[in-house]
A and B are shown apart, each in its own frame.
Chain A
């Protein structure tokens, strides 16, 4: 039972990073400078690409939250207490971002001033949320979370404070931009935009590597440096080598203009990075000062887990075909269907 749930958490996280991550990246892309007319067309492409799917992409996060609080309530509450502040920041970003994106699309009067405001809010909140996602991810297993702490600093600030979580936040933001750029390359047929997205993909690819280096450097100040943990886990090392090796395949695919191949390779790279990170600490969800909280030791009673697995399996039977239908409807080009009379 627990295996299935851990698998669902991992899979949801992966899908959230890949699908939701490219939505965040698209928002960050809109912050970057460029000629006004190009940015306007970029906005249009992003609206068209994200509009139908962003609500569904967002659901993976909610799924993770629900599995955690039903299946692993101790892990959930420990996180929500110790990481109260970053979670709050994350929520703030999610609210502003979703509202700004929808408002921008559905405002009946599309004047320049309000549109610029929505775009600005959408971009900033995308960046903000991505940073905090990274900070939260980095804070899970630092081993500083202390449920018994009495001082405000030790209990609510120290768990997520420091260069290392911040570096991971930046790393996550770079990955999201990378995913979005790759994804958007084949969403448009306009040469200028394609070139812009390709350039962004190349730049963010380099940034991912640099930020990754910074993450390792920043982890030197941690209780246990990342590289120390890293080399203790051979699967992670293998996975990371595979991720690096895929760069060659990626740039071949980009050059050959093979849209779907590019996406699959880039998605594969990011998946490998995420899987590598998950393998680092598995099966410990959180590490506190007094030791790790493992999924296997903190699970809810068996009867609850059975119901949760049942809900997830039944849900999958409904959700995956409908998601597939959604993608098929929108990712196959129908002539004339693009200018929707919204």
Chain B
């Protein structure tokens, strides 16, 4: 592995790790607040137990998210000094707002976790909600910064340096809106399904049924709503990508030749050597429609770009297909959820299915970020700076990568183990409570 690849792998791994915790950290406080609200309104003990159960989850995941986020803020400089040297001044603004939001979140989480008996109960409830709102806001800011890498704005690039810097224009770049919408909805969707699925399985196993059913419903209302909104947001995002980064769209779709009535492929593996798509099912004209709302529109293919400006086509295409496929499945499941919620009865097979869907949303988020990041290659700032020109001159990046690989894998293992113990202990406690 050369230094550039090692740096990219380290960054990718760090982001891939952080995004899971960030997604949970910015959405689960809302689930928790909803349960807390029902407890305060209706006084049912099960909602209080649920609030506390989720609170502990939020506390653990927030801490892991916070430390892995700290790592990322350093890694921007440790891995990509060439990038930060120019980009810091341009795109620092959303980061400074993110810092503010994150700070508020850290204060609010301290108040919520430890403040149960120390303040008015509605004030206490509000601190929990602030955790969610500020977490959500910091997610928006960070993704806006990423949007700038895809659609650079707010500066003039003259002789290899940025002139006439306008940080406000940089933050509200052409990609910020679709990327933040897509990500925030995805977070609600993935976490709603994951949490709902876990409680569905616990319900089926006959443990603390009342509590687990309530938990599943709260989480799935968020998750299912998001899954139904997401196709529209995704379509909007796709159109923006077609306009801003045609090379990325072409790689996503494995679209080699520019032309009208471009087909959309279901499945398939791009054959980069021969510039064709193998084993895919073509739906003629659909890509033109998706990208430009017109079955006959011309869609720019990879042939319009020099070979050294192609993103890795195979990875981008497969990741994109995985994301879309999962999105479709989840939207259908979301629809079913509302049907059964209205009927007031959930069949067992549906609950088992939710259990099987626990990891799907997170896989889709990872796949989506692979599309965004790998699909932007070879650029770190699209059209301006190549990734290889931004990487640190420090040698031996491979060891850096292995160090973080080991660190993050052990952290992930520890977190999973901790959650198993959490659920184990909670179920024993609640099972005892139900008999009363």
Question: What is the interface of chain A, defined by CB distance below 8 A to chain B?
Answer: 51-53, 55-56, 58-59, 61-63, 65-67, 69-71, 73-74, 76-77, 79-81, 84, 87-88, 90-92, 94-96, 98-99, 101-103, 105-109, 152, 155-156, 300-301, 303-304, 307-308, 311-312, 314-315, 318-319, 322-323, 325-326, 329-330, 334, 336-337, 340-342
Given contacts A69-B76, A70-B89, contact A307 B113 (CB under 8 A): no
- Looking at the assembled complex, report how far the CB atom of B203 sits from the nearest CB atom of chain A, in whole angstroms: 20
**Residue of B67, B96, B107, B165 touching A301 (CB-CB under 8 A):** B165
Given known contacts A94-B70, A108-B56, A330-B118, is B96 in contact with A76 (CB within 8 Å)? no
CB pair A314 B84 closer than 8 Å? no
B369 → chain A closest CB, angstroms: 21
Selected from B66, B74, B119, B393, the residue in CB contact (under 8 A) with A329 is: B119
Contact A94 B67 (CB under 8 A): yes
Chain A residues lying within 8 Å of B63, measured Cβ to Cβ, are 55, 98-99, 101-102
Asked whether, in the complex, the Cβ of B421 is within 8 Å of the Cβ of A308, the reply is no
Partner of B107, one of A101, A322, A336: A322
Q: Which size bracket describes the interface of B in this complex?
A: 35 or more
- Segment from B252-260, B289-297, B334-342, B422-430 that makes contact with A: B422-430
A314–B59 Cα distance when bound, in Å, is 27
**Hey, which chain B residues are within 8 Å of A63, CB to CB?**
99, 103
CB neighbours of B60 from chain A (8 A): 102-103, 106
Residues from chain B with Cβ under 8 Å of A311 in the complex: 93, 96-97, 99-100
Pair A98/B99 contact, Cβ less than 8 Å = no
B100 near A315: Cβ-Cβ < 8 Å: yes
Give B404 Cβ to nearest chain A Cβ, in Å: 9
- Nearest neighbor of A97 in chain B, beta-carbon distance: B67
- Contact across chains for A315 and B103 when beta carbons are under 8 A apart: yes
B261 interface hit (Cβ, 8 Å): no
B392 pairs with A81, CB closer than 8 A: yes
Query: At the interface, yes or no: B277 with Cβ under 8 Å from chain A?
Result: no
Q: State how many angstroms separate the Cβ of A211 from the closest Cβ of chain B.
A: 27
In the complex, chain B residues whose CB is within 8 Å of the CB of A155:
393-394
Interface membership of B243, Cβ < 8 A: no
**Complex Cα spacing A319 to B63, Å:** 19
Closest partner residue, chain A, to B117 (CB atom): A337
Q: Does B167 count as interface, using CB distance less than 8 angstroms?
A: yes
Does A330 lie within 8 Å of B114, measured CB to CB?
A: yes
Nearest-Cβ distance from residue B334 to partner chain A, whole angstroms: 31
Residues of B within 8 A of A (CB): 56, 59-60, 62-64, 66-71, 73-74, 76-78, 81-82, 84-90, 92-93, 95-100, 102-104, 106-111, 113-119, 165-168, 392-395, 400, 403, 407, 411, 414, 418, 421-422, 424-426
Chief secondary structure at chain B's binding surface: helix
Report chain B residues within 8 Å CB of A109: 421, 424-425
Are A300's CB and B99's CB within 8 A? no
B393 nearest CB neighbor, chain A only: A81
Q: Which residues of A contact B393 (CB under 8 A)?
A: 81, 155
A149: nearest chain-B partner, CB-CB: B393
A66 touches B114 (CB 8 A): no
Given pairs A77-B84, A315-B100, A342-B56, 5 additional interface contacts (CB within 8 A): A65-B73, A69-B92, A80-B392, A108-B421, A322-B104
Q: Tell me if A308 and B96 are in contact (CB < 8 A).
A: yes
Cα A315 to Cα B107 with chains together (Å): 13
Contact: B167 with A62, CB < 8 Å?
A: no
Measured between beta carbons, the chain A residues less than 8 angstroms from B78 are 80, 84, 87-88
Q: Which residues of A contact B108 (CB under 8 A)?
A: 322
Are A69 and B88 neighbours in the complex by a CB distance under 8 Å? yes
Given A87-B78, A99-B64, residue A300 in contact with residue B418 (CB < 8 A) = no
Q: Which of A62, A95, A319 contacts B73 (CB 8 A)?
A: A62
- In contact, A80 and B77 (Cβ under 8 angstroms): yes
Expressed in whole angstroms, the minimum distance between the Cβ of B198 and any Cβ of chain A is 15
Our pick among A51, A91, A304 for the contact of B113 (Cβ within 8 Å) is A51
- Residues of chain B within 8 A (CB-CB) of A300 are 88-89, 92, 165
Determine the residue in chain A with the shortest Cβ distance to B63.
A102
Q: Given the known A-B contacts A318-B100, A329-B115, A329-B118, are A65 and B421 also in contact in the complex, defined by CB atoms under 8 Å?
A: no
Contacts of B117 in A (CB 8 A): 334, 336-337, 340
Bound together, the chains give a CA A342 to CA B100 distance in angstroms of: 28
Q: Please measure, in the bound complex, the distance between the C-alpha atom of A61 and the C-alpha atom of B116, giving whole angstroms.
A: 28
Bound: A107/B403 CA distance, A: 26
A80 to B421, alpha carbons, bound, how many Å? 39
Query: Which of B110, B116, B392, B403 is close to A55, meaning CB atoms less than 8 Å apart?
Result: B110
Contact A53 B110 (CB under 8 A): yes
A2 nearest CB across to chain B (Å) = 13
Chain A residues with CB below 8 A from B411, complex form: 95, 99
- Of listed B59, B62, B96, residue having the most chain A CB within 10 A: B96
28 A-B pairs within 8 Å (CB atoms) are namely A52-B115, A62-B69, A62-B99, A70-B89, A70-B95, A76-B77, A76-B88, A80-B77, A81-B81, A81-B393, A91-B74, A96-B407, A98-B63, A98-B67, A99-B63, A99-B414, A102-B60, A102-B63, A106-B422, A107-B421, A152-B395, A303-B165, A304-B93, A308-B93, A314-B100, A325-B107, A336-B117, A342-B114
Cβ A319 vs Cβ B85 within 8 A: no
**B166 A303 Cβ-Cβ under 8 A:** yes
